[in-house]
Each structure stands twice: as C-alpha cells, then as structure tokens.
Structure 1
Amino acid sequence: MTSLARYHGRSPRYILNTEDDSLVRVAGPKQVPWEEGTEIKNVSLTGLAFTAPDDLCPLLGEVIKIQFTPPGSRQMACYGIVTRLENITEQRTLVGVHFYKLEMSQRIVLAQGLARKFKETQDRSEIDGLLNRTKESFSLASAPQLTLMAILGFAWGAIIWHLLRFEYVGLYKMLLRLFS
C-alpha cells in the first residue's frame, strides 16, 4: 500500500451502498476524462476513495479533476490530490483522494448529503435491530428490577384486596393507624 494519507486530516467516512449512484469521472493532467469501471467506495468531507483499472490509475500525489454525485445531490466536480493507492486485485486499484480547494457551496452540499445519508442509515439500522432482536433470557442483572416489580405488584394487590374486603371508612381507619 502506498499512502500520503497520514499527511492529510481525515473525516469520518460514509460507506456507499449498492443502490447509491457511485460512478466517478476522472481527468488527470492529460485532461482525458474516463469513468470506465470506477466505483466510489467511501465519501467524507475531506475526500473520497474509488476503484480504478490499473491501466487508467492516476499517480500518487497527482492532482486530478473528479466528477461525482454526492449523496442526495446533483453531480459536482472538484479537484483532488491522490493520497493513497492500494492494490485490490491484479487489475484494480483503490484510489484515495483528498479534496483540493473545495468551494464552500460544494462543502455545504456534501455535508448536508452525508448527514442525510448517515441519518437514513442510522434509522434503518435501528429498525433492523428491533426486527432482528432475539428474546433475552433471564439474568441476575435484571433481578433488582424484577424484585421491585414484585413488591409493587404485591402492594397493589393488597390495596385492591382491602378495598374490596373493607368499607372505605375501615380502610381510612387502617391507614390512620399505619401512619400514626
């Protein structure tokens, strides 16, 4: 793995799902744009990573123009510095790019799209967690709560029994004796 990534600050990455629009169009110094077989793997506020065929792979440290669609937005183009090259297979390379002089409007659009996608992913995982929750078995950790529930249930039952057995005046006198 070849990397300049340790010299650039990193933001949390958003891993793209297969249903996301994940093509990236790249143009190097020769200004020959290509998008054949590229696929964005993750996106953050500071950069992105995509796969590329080895024969079209940019060089480490090269400034490239990239065109991609941020989550929940329209297509945008910006410059990036290649900070990482990692061989995935014999014909494919993972290319890590750090955004270079990203405009504020682009940064805002990217931040909003990533926040929206993060929220959707978080909501989806919470729903999946509720649907796939397994039945919990009894453990000693829940004993204090069960004991408290039993005491409250017994007290409630005793009050109901006394209400049914005695008249209200008798209950009132019993409570006065208890608290005096």
Structure 2
Amino acid sequence: LSINLFPQLKCIHRDLAARNVLVTKGRMAKIGDFGLARDIDNDTNYVVRGNVRLPVKWMAPESIFQGMYTMKSDVWAYGILLWEIFSLGVTPYPGMKVDHTFYAMIERGFKMECPYYANESVYNIMCKCWELDSCNRPSFSKLVSVMAAQLREIEEKVCTKIKIMVTLRNVQNKNIIILPSALPQHA
C-alpha cells in the first residue's frame, strides 16, 4: 500500500515504522501491519498507557499528549521512518529513554540530528514532517512528489559521476589528455 493512498482510503496507520515495511523481491517497499497481531509485550519501544503499549518514539506530539491520530500524525511517523532508513535501522532517538525528559524534549520541538546517510535535502523533509504544529506538516501527496524529485536528482548525480568515471578510465587506458571543459558539467 502506498502512503499516497492513505488519504483516499481514509486510512490512518498509527504505527508507521521500519518494522512495518516489507520489501518485495523486486525491492518495492510495502506498508504492512494494519492491526496485525504481534508480540509487543517485550518491545521496549512501546510504552504502556492503561492496558495498551504504544510506540512512543514514532508518535507525533498530539498523539502522545492528546491521544489524537490523524493523517498528519502519520506524516510525523513517516519522518521517523525516513530517519530509520537513512540511519540503516537505528532505533529513533538513540540513547534516549522514554521518560519525563524525553516527553519534555518532544514538547519543546526537539529534532534528531541528520542521520549519516541522508543528505541535507532529505533531512529537511524529515524536519518538515516533525513540525510541532501538525498543520505545518506536508501532506502525503506532497511528500511523494518531493521524494520523487529527490530520487531523480540523486539518480542524475550518480549517472553523471559514472559518466565521468568511464571517461576518465577511457582516458587512462589510452593515455589521452582531456581538458576539463570536455567533461560533463555536473557534480
């Protein structure tokens, strides 16, 4: 299921996280666990509220403090999911216990640092997902278009670097000197 379909299906996932993303043989990511049973009793990432354990580190402030779940609280969780992906699966808010200090930091708008494998543009997307005021968070349709643009940009940069490497390898093999103006003009 695509995140872009959530609004059309009037679906609020409430537990969007890397642990609920399945990857097919064709490397397509699919969102799962729409209420599927699982053993969360021993998962320290869930906090007990009444008789329920909650994945607080993935939850938006309005979900934590007011028990409100909306499309925009799923957008917050999507930002956390991106952080998980670009940190290669590190648990969010590393080294932080879910306690009074954690809750106070979330209320003040604390944002995790940029994960090692994310560029500044992707980190900016994460930060927009983590806006305290849910009205200021992007919609899923906006996120899909922004992420698609990011992927195109990354693909262009990678293709340009490959062209440069192939050109340089050809030059080295033939002992030819090429002036910099003859190389592709991208990073």
With the length of structure 2 as denominator, give the TM-score of the two structures: 0.28
Higher normalized helix content (fraction of residues): 2
Q: Which has the higher strand share?
A: 1
How high is the TM-score relative to the length of structure 1? 0.29
